[in-house]
Amino acid sequence: MKLSGLPYLLKEGFKNIWNNRMMSLASVVVLMSCLIITGTAALISVNVQTLIAGIGDDNEITVYLRPDYSDVDSIALSGSLSAIPNVESCHFRSRTEVLQSYQETLGDNIYAAMQGDGNPFGNEYKIRLHDLSLYEETVRQINALSGVDKVSDRSDIAEKLTRLDYFVTVTGIWVVLVLGIVTLFIIANTIKMTMYARRFEISIMKSVGATNAFVRIPFMVEAMAIGLFSGLIASLALIALYEPIRQAASGIIGMIQNATLPLQNIWLPTLLALSGSGLLIGLLGGMLSVTRYLNKEGGAILGT
Amino acid sequence: MIHLENVSKVYPNGTQAVKNLTLDIADGEFVFIVGPSGAGKSTFLKLLIREEKADSGSIHVNGHNLMTMSRRRVPYLRRTMGIVFQDFRLIDKMTVYDNVAFAMRVTGHSEQTIQKRVPLVLRLVGLGDKSQRKPHELSGGEQQRVSLARAIINKPSLLIADEPTGNIDPERSIEIMRMLFAIHQKGTTVIVVTHEHELVRHFGGRVLSLKNGTVVSDTTLPIRYGAVKNASAQKEAPTS
Ligand SMILES: Nc1ncnc2c1ncn2[C@@H]1O[C@H](COP(=O)(O)OP(=O)(O)OP(=O)(O)O)[C@@H](O)[C@H]1O
Ligand SMILES: [Mg+2]
């Protein structure tokens, strides 16, 4: 887009304001696209993290005690379980409660027969871990306690999501980094082109004794306006598309609906982050090209 | 005041444009710089406005030491001088008024000061009635007068002109020269590079002749203020 417009722009130069407007529009489009991609990556990452946090909450491990282990000993075990560093909380569930939860499945007759000494279940503890990745080691510690029959498996989904989160975070950082640099160069280039188009005015400014700070202002304003405008449009686009996409995703995976962030939680951070990044990129890009231009080509006044 | 001592300038491509140049120009002088093409006339002016930096020697202009001054001080040197170009250098999309006001706006003058001073200076160069025209709606001579107005709008103590009449027909050239002398008479130092020996003979003044980057002659002819007045009388006489 920019390359094909270059010869025409160079010829028309500063005389054609409309041309400059088109150039700015082109850079807004590219910058906006980059910000949308970056924003999307960030939103996915944030949602995956929320999802993991939600699953982590449900991620209780059950510690089954031996059926012959006495109730008194079972209750006393809560102290030893809590003493394990990675155990966040433990909650006792008596064999009677366990049997009750199976009442419907078993049918009234069998349920009645299993009351009292006929109860085949042992007492249980529902426990939560601080750090799921230390699961193996914690289970070993629990198994070493007397009365423990076995420990339930951890949720597979949590494990996969933990890996996905890592992937999304690492990819996200790279996307932000690469696109940040790309957009920086795009805006620096746009400003360079504008300065080249207005080199005539710049040379007159310098010939009458305008300071570099003064010459710089209009270009910095332009760069920052392009950045801010791109950021605003990008965030509005993401905000508009967020709910429909979340709905569509929840159609595929049922659990997403409840475990992801609703629009009202993300619209303000998205708006601020993208507009701020746009502005910052504009500022840096503008500074980059303005300073370089003024120190090099911008010195010519008399010509030949 | 301008003081150059043993100044040399070699361009990056190896061309020695100025060689061991030593000269003084006192405040209030009117100086013509003449010499063949490639003599180093424009380079000399570029050294004065610090567009180029000399390789050796010393240059002092209006109280600034150009060899030691930092890049950040250059704008303040330039505010002590006005520059007139052979090709006028007017901004085409701006009116005559805005072209002149531009020089004040970008050096931080208030709009109030600008509104007072610009019409005054435009009248001085005889363009009081054309302030709302665009440059392309003016003759070459008129465009150069706009350029002149812009050069003096910030009250410089030194006026520098590189072939100001190079793109203008002879009659209009005399008009421009008359204005340069009028500015000189108010106390401004004026340096004019020109190829037109006719004009030099016509008006007189100090004539510095350059060749191969150095001064080969330096003579002062009496300024013929009569010629200056004649030119102005010519201009004001009704044409029929
Ligand atoms: N930017 C530059 N780079 C390299 N060489 C240059 C540059 N500017 C001028 N020169 C060379 O320096 C010498 C002096 O040039 P300068 O422009 O000062 O001459 P001049 O007296 O103004 O000539 P003219 O009457 O044609 O305008 C010439 O040989 C010219 O080719
Ligand atoms: Mg020249």
CATH number at residue B177: 3.40.50.300
CA distance, residue A276 to nearest chain B CA (Å): 30
User: CA-to-CA distance for A77 and A81, rounded, in angstroms?
Assistant: 6
Task: Check if B13 has its Cβ closer than 6 Å to any atom of ligand 1.
Answer: yes
User: CA-to-CA distance for B84 and B96, rounded, in angstroms?
Assistant: 15
User: CA-to-CA distance for A53 and A20, rounded, in angstroms?
Assistant: 49
pLDDT greater than 60 at residue B206: yes
Q: Determine the pLDDT at residue B88.
A: 93
**For residue A9, what pLDDT band results from cuts at 50, 70 and 90?**
very low
Contact A212 B103 (CB under 8 A): no
Delimit the domains of chain A by residue range: 3-55+157-299, 60-130
The domain defined by A60-130 folds into Alpha-Beta Plaits (3.30.70)
Q: Please check whether residue A217 touches B, CB under 8 A.
A: no
Q: B103 in a domain, yes or no?
A: no
Contact A207 B49 (CB under 8 A): yes
Match 């009116």 to its residue by tokens: B95
Contact A208 B92 (CB under 8 A): no
Q: B49 in a domain, yes or no?
A: yes
Q: Determine the pLDDT at residue B19.
A: 96
Chain B residue numbers with beta carbons less than 8 Å from the beta carbon of A214 are 106-108
Q: B98 in a domain, yes or no?
A: no
More confident residue, A127 or B154: B154
Q: B126 in a domain, yes or no?
A: no
Q: B69 in a domain, yes or no?
A: yes
**For residue A60, what pLDDT band results from cuts at 50, 70 and 90?**
confident
Q: How far is the CA of B80 from the centre of ligand 1 (A)?
A: 25
Taking alpha carbons only, the member of B85, B104, B87 closest to residue B153 is B104
- The phi, psi pair for A204, rounded to 5°, reads -70, -45
Contact B108 A214 (CB under 8 A): yes
* Residue located nearest, by CA, to atom 26 of ligand 1: B37
Per-residue pLDDT tens over the stretch B95-150: 999 999 989 988 888 888 999 999 999 999 999 999 999 999 999 999 999 999 99
Domain that holds residue B223: 2-91+156-229
Taking alpha carbons only, the member of B138, B212, A268 closest to residue B129 is B138
Chain A residue numbers with beta carbons less than 8 Å from the beta carbon of B79 are 208-209
- This model of the complex carries an ipTM of 0.88
Task: Check if B166 has its Cβ closer than 6 Å to any atom of ligand 1.
Answer: no
Number of domains in chain B: 1
Stretch A213-232: mean pLDDT: 82
